[in-house]
Structure 1
Amino acid sequence: LLGTDLHRLLTSRPLEKQFIQYFLYQIMRGLKYVHSAGVVHRDLKPSNILVNENCDLKICDFGLARIQDPQMTGYVSTRYYRAPEIMLTWQKYDVEVDIWSAGCIFAEMLEGKPLFPGKDHVNQFSIITELLGTPPDDVINTIASENTLRFVQSLPKRERQPLKNKFRNADDSAIDLLESMLVFDPKKRITATEALAHDYLAPYHDPTDEPVAEEKFDWSFNDADLPVDTWKIMMYSEILDYHNVESGLPGMEQQQQQQQLEQQQAQQAQQQQQQQFNGQ
């Protein structure tokens, strides 16, 4: 069991350097795996990071997670940790949004409070530019919404502030990694794999123990149209498999449920084939 989450830890006490390093390492290790499976979490924040008494960390709440797709809905992640491309382009983003969120979490661990505590959408972006300066022209040129473009162009020009001035107690390697995570242009943002190899995470970096997914995550269940009873059986079986528990059902009853599931899946496949035939 994971007894608490990172949000509760951050609001209860300052974190020592070794804990910040270890927590960030585990976050990036988890993101490396998730991203390799073709999944974008989209709502990474301290309350979605569970921690147990051994300081083992797990990323949770994949309710907003989606397959990697450059055309995705914009208003998803909690505002404080929302990447600028979500606010600027609304639909065009990828796994880099999770790196920005992780950078905001990293900064919060260093300083003990949220880095960009925006009161609303407009204020959020304004706070970001106060620290990171005005977005470069190549980023501004990607803005699809005319209203958003006019808003960004109406803001006063701001210079990027040295992060060292804000995080005075952080060492140079921490600042360097943070700067590579909080970059306006998502394509220039560091990846999870690259972050793991950064000097700041060197005490924990082990390339032989930072796995990637064997295959892309199968999202076909999103399009499945199955009866409620079938979903119940599938969910129950998944829970048992995860916990390595036998069902405890009598053999005949378990066999009947399996046969029922197979029949329903066969019927669905037949219906799909018929629909495809009718559409030709």
Structure 2
Amino acid sequence: MDDYDVVQQIGRGSYGRVFLVKCTTTQRRYALKCHINAADASVSQCAIRELSCLKALQGHPNIIEIEKCFMYENEIATLMPYCPLTLHRVLFRYPRVPLPLAFVSRFSCEVANALAYMHARNIIHRDLVPSNVLLTDTLNVKLSDMGLSRYAVAPMSTTVVTEPYRAPELFYDGDTMNYTCAIDMWSLGVMIVDATENTMVFLRGKRPSSESTYTIIMRTFQTKNDVQPCYNKTMPNVMACEHTTRIVFKLLRLQPSERWTARELLADNEWKSLSSVSLDDINTIRDHVMN
């Protein structure tokens, strides 16, 4: 660490801390993630999984890269490029109007590009949420936080993915079950919905009588007694845009086998053609969420 100065702590989670650091020779900024050195075997296992997955995925333009790995204050530390924003910050600090469709298309295609690379190697992210989607200065995606990622070998834990982004098959009364990379595609579909609605659509309410995430999902997408679901009530902005509606309903299928894969989303030329984000859009989004 002699070559780097710690500027400030910029994040903290169950498995570690993240610092903004600056190289003393080049003045370039980096993110330094320190993995908690705990006696809890599950914590250590998450650190090992993250390092293993990131190593296996090195070189992809939409996945964060490890530049160095070393010990810092008796903790395993990884040095990575610094990204000033997360998708979470953009989604929930932007004014209460829909984000530009071009941005929604681009971030979803870039996330899908990263997922296609992971899924081809049989790796499931298992915590695909907006806070784990980092954004560069030009709002390009760098997928991160692979602490829950693992090779898809059954059975696997169901207590994965932050609840509002959790696929319906994971709401299962048991600790483990068989599931596939399709859980990541559900999470991506929900992120598209949230970006369009400017809110966390499947968030459980705070009151005891509030609907659970699973109940909201089933009320929205499950046809009962031949009555159409309440799409317009749950996601009106999505339903007002034919492009978004078409993509969302390809990804948010209750049956995992019916969901589009990452490759199928990337093969949709109509959706990809919408992803040219203008410099004005980039500057407008950045100005709104960084001030």
- The 5-angstrom pairing of residues 83-162 of structure 1 reads 83-88=167-172, 90=174, 91-119=177-205, 123-133=212-222, 159-162=228-231
* Structure 1 Cα separation of the partners of residues 244 and 238 of structure 2: 11
Q: What pairs up with 1:54-73 in 2 under 5 angstroms?
A: 54-73=138-157
Q: Judging by fraction of residues, say which structure has more helix.
A: 1
Q: Conserved in 1, the CA contact under 8 Å of 2:104 and 2:275?
A: no
Aligned residues: 185
Residues 163 and 175, structure 1, Cα contact 8 Å, conserved in 2: no
Does structure 2 retain, via aligned residues, the 8 Å contact 1:38–1:67? yes
Judge which range, 8-17 or 20-29, deviates more. Answer: 8-17
> Where does structure 2 lack aligned partners over 5 or more consecutive residues?
1-81, 277-291
Distance 1:24 1:191 in 2: 12
State the distance in 1 between where 2:156 and 2:198 align. Answer: 32
The aligned counterpart of 1:47 is 131
CA contact (8 A) 1:40 1:66 kept: yes
Residue identity in the other structure for 2:83: L
Name the counterpart of 1:75: 159
> What is aligned with 1:181?
251
What's the CA shift for 1:4? 1.1
How many angstroms apart in 2 are the aligned matches of 1:110 and 1:129? 20
Counterpart-to-counterpart distance in 1, 2:178 and 2:211: 19
Task: Let me know the Cα RMSD of the aligned residues.
Answer: 2.6
Alpha-carbon distance between aligned partners in 2 of 1:88 and 1:157, rounded to the nearest angstrom: 26
The secondary structure found in structure 2 opposite 1:58 is strand
Q: Is the 8 A contact 1:130 1:158 kept in 2?
A: no
Answer whether contact 2:129 2:165 (CA < 8 A) is retained: yes
8 A contact 1:163–1:179 mirrored in 2: no
**Structure 1 gap segments, 5+ residues each:** 136-155, 206-280
Equivalent residue, structure 1, for 2:91: 10
2:238/2:244 contact within 8 Å kept: no
| Partner Cα distance (1:32, 1:163) in 2 | 31
Change in 2 beyond 3 A, CA 1:48/1:170:
farther
- Name the SS for the 1:62 alignment partner: coil
Residue pair 1:86, 1:92 contacting (<8 A) in 2 also:
no
Bigger Cα displacement from structure 2, 1-10 vs 159-168: 159-168
Residues 165-180 of structure 1 correspond to what in structure 2 (within 5 A)?
Answer: 166-167=236-237, 170-180=240-250
Letter in 2 for 1:54: T
CA distance 1:168–1:10, shift in 2 (3 Å): closer
Higher strand share: 2
Label 1:76 to 1:107 Cα distance change in 2 as closer, same or farther (>3 A). same
Report the Cα distance in structure 1 between the residues aligned to 2:196 and 2:100, rounded to whole angstroms.
9
Identity of aligned residues (%): 28
Q: TM-score, normalised by structure 2?
A: 0.58
Query: Of the two, which has the highest radius of gyration?
Result: 1
Equivalent in 200, 204, 208 of residue 271 of structure 2: 200
Question: Does structure 1 retain, via aligned residues, the 8 Å contact 2:186–2:252?
Answer: yes
Letter in 2 for 1:58: K
| Distance (whole Å) between structure 2 residues aligned to residue 20 and residue 191 of structure 1 | 18
Q: Aligned in 2, Cα 1:175/1:168: closer, same or farther, shift over 3 Å?
A: closer
Quick one: higher RCO (CA 8 Å, sep 6+), 1 or 2? 1
Q: Secondary structure at the match of 2:108?
A: helix
Map of 2:121 onto structure 1: 37
